[in-house]
Structure 1
Amino acid sequence: MKPNSKKLDEYELGIFQALLQLEMNPDLKAQLRKLNITAAKEIAVGGGRRAIIIFVPVPQLKPFQELQVQLVRELEKKFSRKHVVFIAQRRILPKPTRKSHTKNKQKHPRSRILTAVHDAILEDLAFPSEIVGKRVDGSRLIKVHLDKAQQNNVEHEVETFSGVYKKLTGKEDNFEFLEFQL
């Protein structure tokens, strides 16, 4: 389902058909019936690999994340050699200026500023694991520290996470696994 009742392109139609086939699974049927996708893209992430980005409405992100491990596993079987990532379709509002401030008397929500949206995209990308730290080094490279406990589950997708984040935000990042020591 696309906003403004736009038509699905061929690629999005293929993703939609794959999700419909997954809906036939009795375990997923009840949960998938209520969920929508807003868009889907395929991008190159380096090393000859490709990734599928599926955009979902922000209010439906939590239900998608409950099913994400199963959905990703099944969709990666259908689309071989491609990683699948679910990201919420967020909107970045322009910075308020003096002229625009008089038009809208509403306050500018923090969730729609550039940095908040980029941080949320990073959280969505690394979802099965948890981001335990983040820093920017001198070359403007973002170093993202993931939980060491999830290393076996997401280590093979780290390159995909970096490629997708670079494509969506234009920022370089590097994912590392850290072990907390107290």
Structure 2
Amino acid sequence: MVEASSKIVKPDGKPVTDLEKQIANALADLESNSDVKAQLRELFIVGVKEIEHSNKKSIIVYVPVPQLKQFQKIQVRLVRELEKKLGGKHVLFVARRRILPKPQRGAKRFVEKQKRPRSRTLTAVHEAMLNDIVFPAEIVGKRTRVKMDGKKQIKIHLDKTSQTNVEHKVDTFTFVYKQLTGKDVSFEFPEPLF
């Protein structure tokens, strides 16, 4: 029997919440009695967050960035099983990424040991987060519309072939992305040009 405590590793020794225990138990159950046992053996999560919107609940499961690819190989099956166990709540897997602050100029300047990598910038982290959220679907285009009052509306074009799989989750994607980044997005499935 796989222990649920091995399925969650919290940074800095923070205490594990009840929701995180529940997800870790579900992952341990899946590992002990399913055909994804080999892939799940090495994987663990680093946090869970529940978001409620318009009387629906969504669960964001945070995973380490190096393990994201392995999670995505079995994500469709994992999401299906976790949604069954959690009573129909939408489950999303997102990598836990760190944003480093922009280097200061002038008198406040702090000498850095190395240049900030592109993967740690705000823009790169938000784009990667968007890719994680819509994962089974693929982003094929993006349009940013700046309104007269300065607000930005981002239109994300998703692959038409995955419309049947993710169309029912589009509202969840929009709300979760708004909660995580503060940016307004809308999703479309445009007809391919060729």
Task: Tell me if TM exceeds 0.5.
Answer: yes
Q: Distance in 2 between matches of 1:22 and 1:100?
A: 50
Q: Secondary structure at the match of 1:41?
A: strand
CA contact (8 A) 1:58 1:88 kept: yes
Length-normalised TM-score, structure 2: 0.89
Tell me how far 1:31 sits from its aligned partner: 1.1
Pairing 1:19–2:27 present:
yes
Q: Give the TM-score normalised by the residue count of structure 1.
A: 0.95
Cα offset, 1:135, TM superposition = 1.0
1:162-173 aligned within 5 A: 162-173=174-185
Q: Distance in 2 between matches of 1:9 and 1:178?
A: 41
Q: Distance in 2 between matches of 1:151 and 1:7?
A: 39
Cα distance, 1:100 vs structure 2? 4.8
Q: In structure 2, which of residues 97, 100, 103 is the aligned counterpart of residue 93 of structure 1? A: 100
5 Å matches for 1:50-69? Answer: 50-69=57-76
Unmatched tracts of structure 1, length 5 or more: none
C-alpha offsets along residues 54-74 of structure 1, whole Å, 9 cap, x if unaligned? 000000000000010000000
CA distance in 2, matches of 1:107, 1:138: 31
Q: Which residue of 2 aligns with 1:134?
A: 142
Match for 2:28: what amino acid? L
1:43 match: 51
| TM-superposed deviation, 1:80 | 1.2
Structure richer in helix, relative to its length = 1
**1:5, 1:36 → 2: CA distance?**
15
Post-superposition shift, 1:26? 3.6
Q: Which has the higher contact order (CA 8 A, sep 6+)?
A: 1
When the two chains are superposed, the root-mean-square deviation of aligned CA atoms in Å is: 1.1
Query: In structure 1, the residue corresponding to 2:186 is in which secondary structure?
Result: strand
**SS of the residue aligned with 2:60?**
strand
Q: Give the unaligned 5+ runs of structure 2.
A: 1-8
Give runs of ≥4 in structure 1 deviating > 2 Å: 98-101
Give the drift of 1:5. Answer: 2.3
1:4 corresponding residue in structure 2 = 12
Q: Point out the structure with max Rg over C-alpha.
A: 2
- 1:90 maps to amino acid: R
